Amino acid sequence: MPPTRPSKELQVFPNPAPQRDYLIRFQLPEFTCLCPLTGQPDFAHFSIDMVCDKLCVELKSLKLYFWSFRDEGAFHEAVTNTVLDDIVKATAPRFIRVSARWYVRGGIYTDVVVEHRKKGWKPVDPVTLPPAQMATGLST
């Protein structure tokens, strides 16, 4: 079997529950690319929240996709927007938010957050439950 290699190709599979909105959250804490000005490595923690429509993104392909940036020079804003655009192109989700927390460089953290909503999609109202009462084990 050939070794795994980085890839820009995002694989998808049919959403197993397209009749409902549900959140998928990906945490990718080990993102790396290169600073386009200095060539030094940049590190980020990506969080992706998405409500799929007909297609979901396959996890191994997402890992290989993120790996494909390792030797590329790119500004933080460009990478974050590219990730959003590529996932939208592959899956056409109802909603997606890509948040990137870029680690400190020169005393500055950079957070970049981008979103996409499918035209006409509105989230359902969240369920609000009353606070739970704690059982004390004491009888009165």
pLDDT of the residue at 104:
80
User: Can you give the pLDDT at residue 124?
Assistant: 85
CA distance linking residue 73 with residue 60, whole number of Å? 23
In the prediction, which pLDDT does 17 show? 98
Pairing of β 41-51 and β 23-34: antiparallel
Task: Specify whether 35 is catalytic.
Answer: yes
Is the sign of the CA dihedral 23, 88, 95, 45 positive or negative? positive
* CATH, residue 34: 3.30.1130.10
Query: What local confidence, expressed as pLDDT, does residue 105 receive?
Result: 79
pLDDT at 35: 92
The residue ranges of the chain whose pLDDT is under 70 are: 1-2, 135-140
Q: Is 90 inside a domain boundary? A: yes
86: in domain: yes
Annotated catalytic residue, options 21, 33, 35, 125:
35
Domain count of the chain?
1
Q: DSSP secondary structure string, 4-67?
A: P---SPPPEEE-S-TTS--EEEEEEEEEEEE-TTT--EEEEEEEEEEE-SSEEE-HHHHHHHHH
The confidence score (pLDDT) of residue 96 equals 98
Q: Is residue 72 part of a domain?
A: yes
Q: What is the pLDDT of residue 138?
A: 63
Q: Is 56 a catalytic residue?
A: no
Range of the domain at 54: 20-117
For residue 73, the model assigns a pLDDT of 95
Residue 39 inside a domain? The answer is yes
Predicted local confidence at residue 126, as pLDDT: 84
